[in-house]
Amino acid sequence: MKLAILGGGGVRIPAFIRGVLASGAAAFDEIWLFEPDELRRETTGRLAVELGAALGQPGVVRLTPDVEEAFSGADFVFSAIRVGGDRARVIDEEVALRRGIVGQETTGPGGCAMALRTIPVLLSYCDLLARCAPGAVLINFTNPVGVITQAVSLHTSVRVVGVCDTPSSALDRLARFLGAERDRVAFSYGGLNHLGWITSFAVDGEERIGALLDRYEELARFDHVFAAFDPALVRRLGAIPTEYVYYFYEPARYVAAVARAGASRGADVERLNSELLDAIMTAFGAGGVNDAWAAYSMLMGVRRDTYMRTDTEGENQQAAARARRRAAGPADPGRGRPDGGRPGGYEGVALQVIDGLTGRSPGEVIVNTRNGASLGFLDQDDVVEVPALVHGGGVAPLAVGPLPRSARGLITQTKQYERELVDAAVSGDAGLAALALALHPLVPGVTVAREMMSEYRERHGPHLAYLR
Amino acid sequence: MKLAILGGGGVRIPAFIRGVLASGAAAFDEIWLFEPDELRRETTGRLAVELGAALGQPGVVRLTPDVEEAFSGADFVFSAIRVGGDRARVIDEEVALRRGIVGQETTGPGGCAMALRTIPVLLSYCDLLARCAPGAVLINFTNPVGVITQAVSLHTSVRVVGVCDTPSSALDRLARFLGAERDRVAFSYGGLNHLGWITSFAVDGEERIGALLDRYEELARFDHVFAAFDPALVRRLGAIPTEYVYYFYEPARYVAAVARAGASRGADVERLNSELLDAIMTAFGAGGVNDAWAAYSMLMGVRRDTYMRTDTEGENQQAAARARRRAAGPADPGRGRPDGGRPGGYEGVALQVIDGLTGRSPGEVIVNTRNGASLGFLDQDDVVEVPALVHGGGVAPLAVGPLPRSARGLITQTKQYERELVDAAVSGDAGLAALALALHPLVPGVTVAREMMSEYRERHGPHLAYLR
Amino acid sequence: MKLAILGGGGVRIPAFIRGVLASGAAAFDEIWLFEPDELRRETTGRLAVELGAALGQPGVVRLTPDVEEAFSGADFVFSAIRVGGDRARVIDEEVALRRGIVGQETTGPGGCAMALRTIPVLLSYCDLLARCAPGAVLINFTNPVGVITQAVSLHTSVRVVGVCDTPSSALDRLARFLGAERDRVAFSYGGLNHLGWITSFAVDGEERIGALLDRYEELARFDHVFAAFDPALVRRLGAIPTEYVYYFYEPARYVAAVARAGASRGADVERLNSELLDAIMTAFGAGGVNDAWAAYSMLMGVRRDTYMRTDTEGENQQAAARARRRAAGPADPGRGRPDGGRPGGYEGVALQVIDGLTGRSPGEVIVNTRNGASLGFLDQDDVVEVPALVHGGGVAPLAVGPLPRSARGLITQTKQYERELVDAAVSGDAGLAALALALHPLVPGVTVAREMMSEYRERHGPHLAYLR
Amino acid sequence: MKLAILGGGGVRIPAFIRGVLASGAAAFDEIWLFEPDELRRETTGRLAVELGAALGQPGVVRLTPDVEEAFSGADFVFSAIRVGGDRARVIDEEVALRRGIVGQETTGPGGCAMALRTIPVLLSYCDLLARCAPGAVLINFTNPVGVITQAVSLHTSVRVVGVCDTPSSALDRLARFLGAERDRVAFSYGGLNHLGWITSFAVDGEERIGALLDRYEELARFDHVFAAFDPALVRRLGAIPTEYVYYFYEPARYVAAVARAGASRGADVERLNSELLDAIMTAFGAGGVNDAWAAYSMLMGVRRDTYMRTDTEGENQQAAARARRRAAGPADPGRGRPDGGRPGGYEGVALQVIDGLTGRSPGEVIVNTRNGASLGFLDQDDVVEVPALVHGGGVAPLAVGPLPRSARGLITQTKQYERELVDAAVSGDAGLAALALALHPLVPGVTVAREMMSEYRERHGPHLAYLR
């Protein structure tokens, strides 16, 4: 079984490679990392390859600047590209934040600009993939996952599954909070990527959502992800929103928090990633894979520890995270995690999809896929984020029970924005792109949408030059 | 047939009385103006009564500070009250505008605060009405019409019809633009009060909505009401929004315009109304009904001419309007308009409802009423704004064709806000009121909603003291 | 205003002409009767023309064998044709009854065969009409009204309204039973032609459907139309079925009743009509219009009095009806009915449609028209039978409230049969016609549907020769 | 893990026991057969117990006349009872067939009478189970499975899953026909028990339903189950009906076939079962378990081979089946089938449910369960037959894509019949039972439904005495 990874030099790749090889989570004969950027190949790319060898599986991980080589004969392709790099993300966020509007990687104007840069590039990779490996399944993590998956689903012949770990991670956390075994849980979840709600959570057939809502303050203390929401609002909804819904429920609080912090998450990540590549380069110069892994895992840990802190708390808390991580000492690349090192995050979800589709372990996975009849208030060909049975025959969405009405309203509007945005990207129509943006619930009107779109086109130069 | 008017000293009442009596539009034997405020009774109230006499119908119009006297034996009741007066409206708008949020009489936080002040008062009038005149029909103009009508519909036994002339006026304007006879038009319109779209406009069986969209720039020049919208957006929607949708499609532009103008519409109206009462008082002191009518009609003309100017153009244009009106000279209370003086505006729509319900002239009227099966994506007991057949048997909503999906999203969210708001007002729960406000599409989050609700409660004193 | 009547020599035409001219119900300048059959022209046709003169309006009613002359410049066209005549109806019924299946003019196999004979003929008239009078509105009474209107609506450019008086007549009867004024009634009715239910009946805003259901036995004694239904079933449904639903709720009882009577309604009508034409011919030979009218009105009275008697009671009761009518003595063509002679029946409904569309008297009429959003469980372009606002702009269906679930099931199946049947007729595909018939709820399977379709094709000769 | 079987002396039980023990399909520590009938205990019951010993697992299978002993501590309960025995089934069928109406075990009047006998009995077992083993899951095969599962689901606290192998068996057959691996198939199936359609059948992501429809004649020759349907009808539907839909698509053909055969399937089965018990008794008398198994498996084979032959072909073909089976020689109870003897049929489906719910092998199983949002046109608490993900958390229905409209009509009507029938059984209201029956699509009216219900009550004596 061959896996190809678009964006093979991404900063999460070494951790994924280590996890998948150490745990035997999936049986890949070859993992091809496609990375056009030389610096990335020499740092994260090299680290990934050498980790393979350190784990006793030399030759499995391969690095290439040639996408056709990566695609050829692939069974699965991961897409984790970032067109324009971290710099573009900073611009995406700034243009919105300057106007007091949510400036965020995936939600609102930032996600819109990112999608516009990405769709033409990914569609052209899909054309190539359809020729090189017609049966391959594309597992998309590229953000904004919902929009990108929608574009591939409507405009290519490639089989695509969009993956994000936000909802499954929330469910895991709820199970931990209740002390329940995760596989005795029956839940109801639905919406779009980064805009989904959990409306039912039953353990051994007994509904516990009421208990979770009643004890929401306690839950928020147990896990800070839930602390972003007003407990009374959550109780009134009768449903637990997943973390990115924060940008819809608290846009003004978010904008104020970023202003207080002095820098957006994008700016922090840009700095962290730059430091990371330098550190890996230095480590390879001085020592070898062990030093590189130590530097890598420390900085990735800081990144993880500070996730959403700026947005909800108004400071990035990097200093504290660094101190904690340094005190914990270096990680050993050969030592697995308590769970055997099976990759978590979205790569973990992707492996579940692969295990389902190959028939190795069919089961329920929350994915971004064509709606069919899953959410009755959306269209059949809308891409939605819902639990699906993933098995040898494919991906079959479950029937999702009723969502809160206000959630249906937000989802309906946001899906329409997504569909219009895909139309704009595919037609290369800048005016349509501005109108799409104007329909986003977080954008205060057409006039300001047109202004932002102009600014994005100016500042993103060649990446948006196709819009006319 | 007896009509009672709650808010009988309102500034629009003299014009309505003159119109209805001069045109014979409806056959009222008695029109009772209930007005608790003495100044209003001595100015607008007195003007209305004396206009009746001047038009040769003395005794038809009656003024009273006693609501039971007004209600007793009434067939129809108009509700046009403003709890807290013009001052409260100014506060409603300021609290939002200070935060860069739409501050408007009916839409957004302003409408929320107004509804919270009004619902308990109107529900208590309804209890009285149910005792004094159990068969009476309440025709509600009190803003926000959708929310107030929803509250009466859910929580009283009174038959209620909410009325607003926004959509019918838009349809009249479109017919004029096309040079079509209004009664050869078949249209499709639907939504909520101040949140509705026209999706079809056929003349003699031929669909013209495409032509209207194609010629939208020309239409916007023909009638400035349509100029508030971006023509490309309207074409992409495939539907013509009614004027108040402006606040949803251009919140940032609106906030900037008010800032440029230096005062909100509410502040302008407060000043105009104060001037109006003074001028009537002075005119009655100096002369009589003719002078009072002249002063009244000049200032009401200025008010009408400057409608929405601040919000869309950033200046109120009062100076120009006053100059034009003064140049046109005084109006004669006995002289009818070319159409025989039949009242227009929402009072005109109300008379159509009355003519339908009495069987005098059954026909199609756009009203705010229980949805039933009219808009398939809303609940049966949601109050919606749709065309209905109004006849001797009652009000029967037409089946409304598909709305643009983004409109469905906005309507769904806004209806949920309205339902939560009614729950908050009826239960007197301040926390619930803040959560309701947080669900409004124009409010950027729960935290800011809680802040605004605190400020409203503080500044509106006794009017919101029931919220705990 | 010009009216053209397809089937102008039909037996109901003289009564209609007399009604419309005597009552001034609509202001026709010309009424053209198109009748290709010479015998009909010399009997019923001549009677209609002479009635016009007898009522002091010579020249208004015109008789022609030339359809283009009739259509040219027409504003409205009535269609009341019977392809194959009364004989064909007898065959339609026999083929089904022989197999123990409902054999009825409009419902089940009989209606299927009739539709197959009629659709090609009427579609070709519509092509001609679209050329001769492009703005004309076709008001269709030709049975089965739902299927025929569906065919015209889908496959021609002619504006069509299907009309049947079954539901309005039921509503009138219910109002009479309750002693209510008909125009104070708000009702809910919906379904397909000859397959509709009344689910709400409010008088002056007060719901009375519960009372009607509770008193159903009394209602059935009051009016024998309601006696066809099992009171307990009606109560359990919570809705009052209209009379033709009898064939769906009591097929076995119906088949047994016809067997007991020894002849179907079709056979009775064939004999009555033959007698009628003879009698008119004889009367014109012997005397003049007064004698012809007397003979005509006696036999038409017998026909009306015996309506549905065979089907529900197992005997046609003609002898009793004749005796009663003879005892009552001859009618005077110049003497109006108490209500001024305004035509009732489906012609009366048609005049309401005309009065609405011309703007003379807009209002609510139950019609067969495109569903739009009226019945949420059917498609937009399905023709349904629902109340609509008929006005100068056109026909706008009302939103119809929930129907009993079992009714929705029957309607869904029957509509699908109708759509398939129209496809079969338009494509001329005999196999498809048999499959369509097999989907009818009263047909016990495909095999028997194929057998009946073969027999229809054989026995109807040229009329079904186009099916291959 | 303890399994209890209601109806533990049923004729299918020995085969099930042998299959489950020989194959190790599920890990039962104890299987308790509850059987109140002594003859059954001494024949089929004894055979089941001795097969356990013959397979080297003595003590696992236990036989008891005490239902509390069987239930106590059970994890799963199978229900396969037949209230009134085979004789009652023969009556069920006769009463309908005498009137030319489908007389069938589960569909139409026969199923109605069976449900009425069964519901009170099973509900009372459920009360007991809720006390003896509150967490147990009831897996119901008792026919009519849809109605019985609906009753348990609405009126008890017991977790219930209804199981039938009709749809999964059809899918297996289609896969065999196409030469596809069953676990590479993604399908769409939905409806009610014995009223379901397959609308999609994709192999490795490629849709093959079109090919199956095109080649339907070939498919019908490949497997006689599909031969019951008219190929042109199936193609027009665009969906493959499952076998019991035959009674809806060909009632007249079925009634004629049974008349031709001279006896219904029920009568054949009654004779076969009687012969079977005699043969086992004789075999145990003469020899032992091997002889008993040989006699048993020969007669069960004849039963299987003649399934649906009477209904579709008009003769039961028993003679030929017996000859074939005799020629094949006796079966060996210790010899597994090629697939290791894993039980097929509905017991096989039940084991899949158990394997899913215990977490041993989560996956997709077609079950009868609460609809939730699976079929959008039915209610949330309607029991439907759809694919579901069965896992440790419970049973989660998949979202089922669009069904043919005529199928939706039949399902809607039939579901309403089922709901009314459950109401009748639970309230013990004979009148309501007749009205429920009248709503069944195969019953020609209320009058005949009342007649049949009277006859059922008379002939079933004590079993229906609770209806008043």
The predicted-structure confidence for D170-180, as pLDDT tens digits, reads as follows 999 999 999 99
Q: How confident is the model at residue D339 (pLDDT cuts 50, 70, 90)?
A: very low
Q: Torsion-angle region of residue D370: left (phi > 0), alpha (psi -120 to 50) or beta?
A: beta
How far apart are the CA of D367 and the nearest CA of chain A, in angstroms? 14
pLDDT, residue C344, reads 83
How far apart are the CA of B186 and the nearest CA of chain C, in angstroms? 4
The reply to whether D134 touches chain A by the CB within 8 Å rule is no
* Residues B400, C364: C-beta atoms closer than 8 Å: no
Using CB atoms, which chains have 3+ pairs under 8 A with C?
B, D
pLDDT, residue D287, reads 83
* Interval A145-177: pLDDT, tens: 999 999 999 999 999 999 999 999 999 999 999
Three-point CA angle B323, B324, B326, nearest 5°: 65
Average pLDDT, chain D: 94
The reply to whether C233 touches chain D by the CB within 8 Å rule is yes
Smallest Cβ–Cβ distance between D186 and the set A202, A394, A399 belongs to A394
Question: In this structure, what are the phi and psi dihedrals at residue D380, rounded to the nearest 5 degrees?
Answer: -60, -35
The reply to whether D200 touches chain A by the CB within 8 Å rule is no
Burial class (CB in 10 A: 0-12, 13-18, 19+), A318: middle
Whether the per-residue pLDDT at C120 is higher than 90: the answer is yes
Neighbours of B304 (CB within 10 A): 12
Q: How confident is the model at residue C334 (pLDDT cuts 50, 70, 90)?
A: low
More confident residue, D339 or C333: C333
pLDDT, residue D449, reads 98
Q: Which of B85-94, B231-240, B350-359, D261-270 has the lowest mean pLDDT?
A: D261-270
* Interval C208-257: pLDDT, tens: 999 999 999 999 999 988 999 999 999 999 999 999 999 999 999 999 99
Give A-chain residues touching D401 at CB under 8 angstroms. Answer: 372-373, 380
* Residues B251, A444: C-beta atoms closer than 8 Å: yes
Q: In degrees to the nearest 10, what's the CA dihedral of D178, D180, D186, D189?
A: 40
Residue D301 identity (one-letter amino acid): G
Whether the per-residue pLDDT at D193 is higher than 60: the answer is yes
Whether the per-residue pLDDT at C149 is higher than 80: the answer is yes
Most B CBs within 10 A among C160, C203, C206, C398, hence the mutation to make, goes to C398
> Which element (helix H / strand E) includes D293?
helix D289-305
Whether the per-residue pLDDT at C355 is higher than 90: the answer is yes
SS3 C360: coil
Q: Which of A134-143, A314-323, D388-397 has the lowest mean pLDDT?
A: A314-323
Q: How many CA atoms lie within 13 A of B142 on its CB side?
A: 34
Q: How confident is the model at residue A332 (pLDDT cuts 50, 70, 90)?
A: low
Q: How confident is the model at residue B339 (pLDDT cuts 50, 70, 90)?
A: very low
pLDDT, residue D341, reads 65
Q: What whole-number distance in Å separates Cα of residue B450 and Cα of residue B109? A: 11
In this structure, are residues C136 and C3 in contact, taking their beta carbons and an 8 Å threshold? no
How far apart are the CA of B371 and the nearest CA of chain A, in angstroms? 16
Q: How confident is the model at residue D184 (pLDDT cuts 50, 70, 90)?
A: very high
Question: In this structure, what are the phi and psi dihedrals at residue C237, rounded to the nearest 5 degrees?
Answer: -65, -35
The reply to whether A405 touches chain B by the CB within 8 Å rule is yes
Give B-chain residues touching C203 at CB under 8 angstroms. Answer: 393
Q: What whole-number distance in Å separates Cα of residue C230 and Cα of residue D70? A: 47
The reply to whether C406 touches chain D by the CB within 8 Å rule is yes
Whether the per-residue pLDDT at C336 is higher than 60: the answer is no
Most B CBs within 10 A among C137, C375, C389, hence the mutation to make, goes to C389
Give, rounded to a whole angstrom, the gap between the first and last alpha carbons of chain B: 42
The residue of chain D nearest to residue C435, with distances taken between CA atoms, is D233
How far apart are the CA of A342 and the nearest CA of chain D, in angstroms? 20
Q: What is the mean pLDDT of residues A307-335?
A: 82
pLDDT, residue B287, reads 82
**C180 secondary structure, DSSP code:** -
Q: What is the mean pLDDT of residues C189-202?
A: 98
Whether the per-residue pLDDT at D16 is higher than 70: the answer is yes
pLDDT, residue C23, reads 80
pLDDT, residue A139, reads 97
Q: What is the mean pLDDT of residues B28-38?
A: 96
Q: What is the mean pLDDT of residues B258-287?
A: 92
Question: In this structure, what are the phi and psi dihedrals at residue C270, rounded to the nearest 5 degrees?
Answer: -55, -45
pLDDT, residue D345, reads 87
pLDDT, residue C337, reads 41
**B34 secondary structure, DSSP code:** E
pLDDT, residue A339, reads 40
Q: What is the mean pLDDT of residues A24-35?
A: 90
Highest mean pLDDT among B142-156, C50-64, D274-288: B142-156
SS3 B384: strand
Give D-chain residues touching A381 at CB under 8 angstroms. Answer: none
* Interval B208-241: pLDDT, tens: 999 999 999 999 999 988 999 999 999 999 999 9
Q: Which of B16-25, C106-115, C171-180, D273-282 has the lowest mean pLDDT?
A: B16-25
Average pLDDT, chain B: 94
How far apart are the CA of C464 and the nearest CA of chain B, in angstroms? 35
Q: What is the mean pLDDT of residues D147-152?
A: 98
pLDDT, residue C333, reads 60
pLDDT, residue D64, reads 97
In this structure, are residues C85 and C460 in contact, taking their beta carbons and an 8 Å threshold? no
Which ipTM did the prediction report?
Answer: 0.94
The residue of chain D nearest to residue A137, with distances taken between CA atoms, is D205
In this complex, how many residue pairs, one in chain C and one in chain D, have their CB atoms less than 8 Å apart? 108
pLDDT, residue B336, reads 43
How far apart are the CA of D21 and the nearest CA of chain C, in angstroms? 44
The residue of chain A nearest to residue B99, with distances taken between CA atoms, is A252
Q: How confident is the model at residue C327 (pLDDT cuts 50, 70, 90)?
A: confident
What percentage of chain A has pLDDT greater than the value 70? 98
pLDDT, residue A331, reads 67
pLDDT, residue A345, reads 87
Q: What whole-number distance in Å separates Cα of residue D124 and Cα of residue D126? A: 5
Most D CBs within 10 A among A391, A400, A403, A408, hence the mutation to make, goes to A391
Q: What whole-number distance in Å separates Cα of residue B361 and Cα of residue B348? A: 14
Give D-chain residues touching A393 at CB under 8 angstroms. Answer: 183-187, 202-204
Q: How confident is the model at residue B332 (pLDDT cuts 50, 70, 90)?
A: low
* Residues A409, B406: C-beta atoms closer than 8 Å: no
Q: What is the mean pLDDT of residues D430-451?
A: 98
In this structure, are residues C51 and C370 in contact, taking their beta carbons and an 8 Å threshold? no
- The token pair at D86 is 């085979």
* Residues D435, C410: C-beta atoms closer than 8 Å: no
Q: How confident is the model at residue D337 (pLDDT cuts 50, 70, 90)?
A: very low
Highest mean pLDDT among B74-78, C25-29, C322-326: B74-78
Whether the per-residue pLDDT at D333 is higher than 80: the answer is no
| Torsion over CA: A399, A400, A405, A408 (sign) | negative
pLDDT, residue C293, reads 92
Give, rounded to a whole angstrom, the gap between the first and last alpha carbons of chain A: 42
pLDDT, residue A328, reads 82
**3-state percent breakdown (helix, strand, coil) of chain B, nearest 5:** 55, 15, 30
- The token pair at B63 is 């003024």
Neighbours of A19 (CB within 10 A): 23
The reply to whether A372 touches chain D by the CB within 8 Å rule is yes
The residue of chain A nearest to residue B416, with distances taken between CA atoms, is A406
Q: What is the mean pLDDT of residues D382-408?
A: 97
Smallest Cβ–Cβ distance between D183 and the set A181, A203, A359 belongs to A359
pTM: 0.95
Q: How confident is the model at residue A338 (pLDDT cuts 50, 70, 90)?
A: very low
Going from the C-alpha of B123 to that of each of B85, B466, C114, the distances in angstroms are: 18, 14, 59
Q: What is the mean pLDDT of residues D29-50?
A: 96
User: Treating both helix axes as pointing N-terminal to C-terminal, what angle do D446-459 and D430-438 enclose, rounded to 10 degrees?
Assistant: 130
Smallest Cβ–Cβ distance between C253 and the set D405, D415, D445 belongs to D445
In this structure, are residues A213 and A240 in contact, taking their beta carbons and an 8 Å threshold? yes
Give A-chain residues touching B431 at CB under 8 angstroms. Answer: 232
Whether the per-residue pLDDT at C338 is higher than 60: the answer is no
